[in-house]
Amino acid sequence: MSQVTEVVKIRRKVLSEIARMAFEGSLKDNVEDILQTVVTESGPRYRCCVHKERAVLKDRVNLALCQPINTTLAVAAENALNQEAADIPIISVLPEACDQCPIDKFMVTDACRNCVAHHCINSCAKKAIMVVNNRAYIDQSKCVECGLCKKSCPYCAIIEISRPCERACDLEAINAGADRRAVIDYTKCVSCGACKTACPFGAISDRSIIVQLIQLLKNSDKHIYAILAPAFIGQFGLKVKPGQVMKAVKELGFYEVHEVSFGADITTIEETKEFAASVPNERSFMTTSCCPAYVGMVEKHMPQMLEQVSSTVSPMIATGRWIKNNDPDAVIVFVGPCIAKKAEADKYPEDIDYVLTFEEMTAMLVGAGINVSEVEDDGYQTVASRDGNAFARAGGLVQAVVDAAAKMAPDAVVKPHRSEGLGNCKMALRQLKDGKIDANFFEGMACYGGCVGGPGTLTDYRVTTRLVDNHANTAKVTASPENGNAIDEIKKGESWHHGH
């Protein structure tokens, strides 16, 4: 997660104001006021003028209402209050906010020796390079950013400067368009959120459904469940207890609040069975399926490796199925650190109805006037195993399967390997396929640090990792197969697998 920059502060203020108005019932009449209260005449100012600031803010409000960017705010608010969510991409570029990054991608540095060979000039088909004052010079009006000059220079005197959003995307799913504004290629994008975190102008954001959910909480007689990802520990305050968080969330109007770590135990047990049954007889190695951005990367960029991915559902889906198996009309709201979970929920709407990031849940709590740190701790005790709770951090999943295999399939040989970051995951998968990595079980995580490092988190993942481990160690059982309630749920016959 990035630091709490001005971009983050503005985004959170917008979400909190929208939530407050939705809870008060004033959003329809006062949504335009957000443009005046978040951006005032007296500043602070981050762009050329107050009009530009408010144009950017309007785009941000529309996304927060899950409406197309070009919608008028009055119409967007009315649609959201009617629980209408537009079919828009999960992550979008705010056109007014994009700085169009007017940088020259290739530049000649002082390392240029004005050599006699002039490989850079000879390599340029567009004749964009010349020598000026004994140094190579790139005419940017002719340059097409092919990079051949950089490759040809024996002194490495030509450097490449990439835009922050492009550099953050390991899948090359975002590039500058003809007008230099960022453009997302959704055939490559897996909604990991790396570009959103990287953009220093806050020009990339994700859609939100907080208003639609608030309306449901206020007006529906259905049982609405909140399920908290294992990474929730420490997100709402480093000294805030899990029981305080769960009670605060319930005060918003949720029927019950559950830990997704219980679903993680179900996932671990089923994934261990799948591993023991298929490796090495049917496939040389198996990979995890819990990170939707990682799975999306395999589906879109390495489809030939899809057969290696586990068919076991993620802890989010397992938790949703568990609840709906016992309460068929339940409405399930996943709360976690991940933007890509919104894409996973779109794929499996029968299991998950809504997805919120921790940032969005915090905005709802602030909007409702609930201070989590002041809520009474009810002494909540986790219903999951230590390993189920440890899913939140990198390495937690492989450790859970190793521990489960020792109890369920002692003859199975589990040789784990893991990677963080989609670029590293791609490289590791290739090496596993080629036999360059001696492993047969692979944990792929899009975010560094695992789920605790997701784009929807509120705290530094290095701190949260320690808090997650501390909480996990309070569990009554260590390994997932020791969780009798999870075993009982599996025995009911619900399917815990799906195809990709």
Q: pLDDT value at position 37?
A: 87
Quote the CA–CA distance of 330 and 325 in Å, as a whole number: 9
Q: Are residues 450 and 485 in the same domain?
A: yes
Q: Is residue 498 part of a domain?
A: no
Angle at CA of residue 383, ends 378 and 389, nearest 5°: 105
CATH of residue 364 = 3.40.950.10
Q: Residue 102, class by beta-carbon neighbours within 10 Å (0-12 exposed, 13-18 middle, 19+ buried)? A: exposed
Query: pLDDT by residue for the chain (500 residues), tens digit each?
Result: 447 889 999 999 999 999 999 999 999 999 999 999 888 777 777 888 888 999 999 999 999 999 999 999 999 999 999 999 999 999 999 999 998 887 788 999 999 999 999 999 999 999 999 999 999 999 989 998 899 999 999 999 999 988 999 999 999 999 988 788 899 999 999 999 999 999 999 999 999 999 999 999 999 999 999 999 999 999 999 999 999 999 999 999 999 999 999 999 999 999 999 999 999 999 999 999 999 999 999 999 999 999 999 999 999 999 999 999 999 999 999 999 999 999 999 999 999 999 999 999 999 999 999 999 999 998 899 999 999 999 999 999 999 999 999 999 999 999 999 999 999 999 999 999 999 999 999 999 999 999 999 999 999 999 999 999 999 999 999 999 999 999 999 999 889 998 65
Q: Count structural domains, the chain.
A: 3
Q: pLDDT value at position 412?
A: 96
DSSP β-ladder status, 224-228 and 256-259: parallel
- Buried (b) or exposed (e) across 362-387, using 16+ Cβ within 10 A? bbbbbbbebebeebeeeeeebbbbbb
Q: pLDDT value at position 2?
A: 47
Q: Are residues 135 and 243 in the same domain?
A: no
Quote the CA–CA distance of 18 and 25 in Å, as a whole number: 10
Q: pLDDT value at position 493?
A: 83
Quote the CA–CA distance of 210 and 15 in Å, as a whole number: 8
Quote the CA–CA distance of 459 and 448 in Å, as a whole number: 13
Q: Are residues 172 and 286 in the same domain?
A: no
Q: Are residues 112 and 152 in the same domain?
A: yes
Q: Phi, psi at residue 253, to the nearest 5°?
A: 120, 5
Quote the CA–CA distance of 309 and 302 in Å, as a whole number: 11
Biggest CA–CA distance in the chain, Å, is: 80
Q: Phi, psi at residue 402, to the nearest 5°?
A: -60, -45
Quote the CA–CA distance of 165 and 147 in Å, as a whole number: 19
Quote the CA–CA distance of 43 and 53 in Å, as a whole number: 10
Q: Is residue 499 part of a domain?
A: no
**252 with 366: CB under 8 angstroms?**
no
Q: Is residue 500 part of a domain?
A: no
Q: In what order do the strands lie in the sheet with 441-445?
A: 286-287, 441-445, 416-420
Q: Are residues 262 and 347 in the same domain?
A: yes
Q: Are residues 81 and 112 in the same domain?
A: no
Which of the 8 DSSP states describes residue 377? Answer: P
Q: pLDDT value at position 1?
A: 46
Domain with 87 in it? 6-100+165-211
- The SS3 assignment for 96 reads coil
Q: Are residues 176 and 250 in the same domain?
A: no
Helix (H) or strand (E) holding 174: strand 174-176
Q: Are residues 144 and 54 in the same domain?
A: no
Q: How far apart are the first and last CA of the chain?
A: 29
Q: Is residue 450 part of a domain?
A: yes
Summarised one tens digit per residue, pLDDT across range 349-396 is 999 999 999 999 999 999 999 999 999 998 899 999 999 999 999 999
Q: Are residues 136 and 243 in the same domain?
A: no
Q: Is residue 18 part of a domain?
A: yes
Looking at beta carbons, which pairs linking 34-40 to residues 24 or more positions away fall under 8 Å? Answer: 34/61, 34/73, 35/61, 35/73, 38/10, 38/13, 38/14
Q: Are residues 130 and 268 in the same domain?
A: no
Q: pLDDT value at position 347?
A: 96
Quote the CA–CA distance of 417 and 100 in Å, as a whole number: 40
What is the separation of C-alpha 161 from the centre of its chain, rounded to a whole number of angstroms?
Answer: 26
pTM of structure: 0.92
Quote the CA–CA distance of 302 and 62 in Å, as a whole number: 34
Q: Are residues 244 and 309 in the same domain?
A: yes
CATH of residue 77 = 3.30.70.20
**100 with 241: CB under 8 angstroms?**
no
Q: Are residues 313 and 459 in the same domain?
A: yes
Query: In the structure encoding, which two tokens stand for residue 267, read together?
Result: 């996932």
Q: Residue 435, class by beta-carbon neighbours within 10 Å (0-12 exposed, 13-18 middle, 19+ buried)? A: exposed
Summarised one tens digit per residue, pLDDT across range 177-204 is 878 889 999 999 999 999 999 999 999 9
Q: Is residue 1 part of a domain?
A: no
Helix (H) or strand (E) holding 344: helix 340-347
Name the E strands within 385-424. Answer: 416-420
Query: In the structure encoding, which two tokens stand for residue 72, read together?
Result: 């008028």
The CA-atom distances, in angstroms, between 146 and each of 124, 137, 150, 151 are 9, 16, 9, 10
Q: Is residue 284 part of a domain?
A: yes
**Which residues have CB under 8 Å from 228's CB, separation 6+?**
245, 246, 249, 257, 258, 259, 260, 335, 336
Angle at CA of residue 351, ends 350 and 355, nearest 5°: 110
Summarised one tens digit per residue, pLDDT across range 443-465 is 999 999 999 999 999 999 999 99
Q: Is residue 497 part of a domain?
A: no
Q: pLDDT value at position 499?
A: 66
